[in-house]
């Protein structure tokens, strides 16, 4: 009987001990941690900037500033075009924030002809215009009646004709300036045939014409480098380098938008100047 009582007492003591241990564990259990808060910077939605550009070198340059803009709170979307007309029309319509493909004489002429109101906000780089070989490769021994393809838009055709004039191949009517067309050629000692084509098409006829005069971006796109492949080119210290510098443009009234200012700062950075110098080796020249 005494043994039964002892056993009973032992069981009671053990039960009490287990209960105390359970209470202790419950009290010592750490409080549930609150869910980690996501930093505000990660949840903030990036503001989108859209830019219309031609592929080379403009879209390539823009690609280099995507991460820089992301750090400033902007997502850069690059919309690539293959012509010189649509990039201005989509900016004028408000469908795209900015464009990057043209120089000021072309923009001025486009605004005048199309009643648009697009303005430059930054000068980024300069692309020398060049004369490149086609079926012939010697400007000093040019065949009589040789064909030369040139861009047909007003300012770039004039620019091409002035480059031909600078190399003694033709003479343009005095005062024709940036409005010159082949109708303004007053001296043509080699009876050259000037073939006017949309700028994007000129490189494609290099195998059909004796020479082609190419804008810097289309020359690069066709695998030419003005520094090594051009038979003649606009020089870096020429007036053309200032007049024909490539510009970032927006619709009038949007010049002071914070996202546009951020885009300008990114494109004018030392990083982009170094990228242009190292990548294009003189075919594209960064402007201060």
Is residue 61 located within the same domain as residue 203?
no
Is residue 154 located within the same domain as residue 225?
yes
**End-to-end alpha-carbon separation of the chain, Å?**
107
Q: What are the residues whose beta carbons fall under 8 Å from the beta carbon of 3, sequence distance 6 or more?
A: none
Mean pLDDT of the chain: 87
Q: Which of 197, 212, 234 is the last residue of a domain?
A: 234
Q: Does 17 fall in a domain?
A: no
Q: What are the residues whose beta carbons fall under 8 Å from the beta carbon of 67, sequence distance 6 or more?
A: none
Is residue 60 located within the same domain as residue 75?
yes
Q: Does 9 fall in a domain?
A: no
- Indicate the number of domains in the chain: 2
Under the banding of pLDDT at 50, 70 and 90, the label for residue 2 is: very low
Cβ count near 136 (within 10 Å): 16
pLDDT at 15 over 60: no
Percent of the chain past pLDDT 70, that is, above it, reads 85
Domain carrying residue 164: 130-234
What is the distance between the alpha carbons of residues 224 and 230, in angstroms, rounded to a whole number? 8
pLDDT at 52 over 90: yes
What is the distance between the alpha carbons of residues 78 and 110, in angstroms, rounded to a whole number? 22
Is residue 136 located within the same domain as residue 227?
yes
For 259-280, how does the pLDDT look when each residue is reduced to its tens digit (9 = 90+)? 999 999 999 999 999 999 999 9
Q: Are strands 74-81 and 147-151 parallel, antiparallel or unpaired?
A: unpaired
- Highest mean pLDDT among 6-15, 17-26, 205-214 belongs to 205-214
pLDDT at 157 over 70: yes
- Tell me the pTM: 0.73
In the predicted model, what is the mean pLDDT of residues 119-126? 97
- List the CATH number of the domain containing 111: 3.40.190.10
């Amino acid at each position: 009987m005494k043994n039964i009582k002892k056993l009973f007492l032992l069981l009671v003591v053990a039960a009490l001990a287990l209960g105390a241990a359970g209470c202790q564990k419950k009290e010592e259990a750490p409080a549930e941690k609150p869910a980690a808060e996501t930093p505000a910077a990660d949840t903030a939605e990036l503001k989108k900037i859209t830019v219309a550009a031609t592929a080379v070198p403009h879209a390539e340059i823009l690609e280099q500033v995507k991460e820089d803009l992301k750090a400033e709170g902007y997502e850069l979307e690059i919309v690539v075009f293959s012509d010189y007309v649509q990039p201005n029309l989509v900016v004028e319509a408000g469908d795209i924030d900015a464009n990057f493909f043209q120089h000021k004489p072309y923009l001025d002429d486009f605004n005048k002809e199309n009643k648009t109101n697009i303005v430059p906000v930054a000068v980024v780089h300069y692309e020398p215009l060049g004369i490149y070989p086609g079926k012939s490769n010697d400007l000093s021994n040019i065949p009589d009646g040789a064909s030369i393809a040139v861009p047909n838009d007003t300012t770039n055709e004039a620019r091409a004709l002035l480059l031909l004039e600078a190399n003694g191949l033709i003479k343009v009517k005095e005062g024709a300036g940036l409005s010159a067309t082949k109708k303004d050629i007053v001296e043509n000692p080699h009876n050259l045939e000037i073939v006017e084509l949309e700028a994007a098409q000129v490189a494609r006829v290099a195998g059909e014409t004796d020479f082609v005069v190419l804008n810097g971006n289309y020359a690069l796109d066709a695998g030419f480098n003005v520094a090594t492949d051009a038979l003649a080119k606009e020089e870096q210290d020429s007036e053309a380098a200032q007049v024909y510098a490539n510009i970032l443009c927006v619709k009038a009234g949007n010049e002071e938008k914070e996202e546009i200012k951020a885009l300008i700062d990114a494109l004018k950075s030392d990083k982009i100047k170094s990228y242009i110098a190292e990548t294009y080796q003189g075919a594209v020249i960064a402007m201060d």
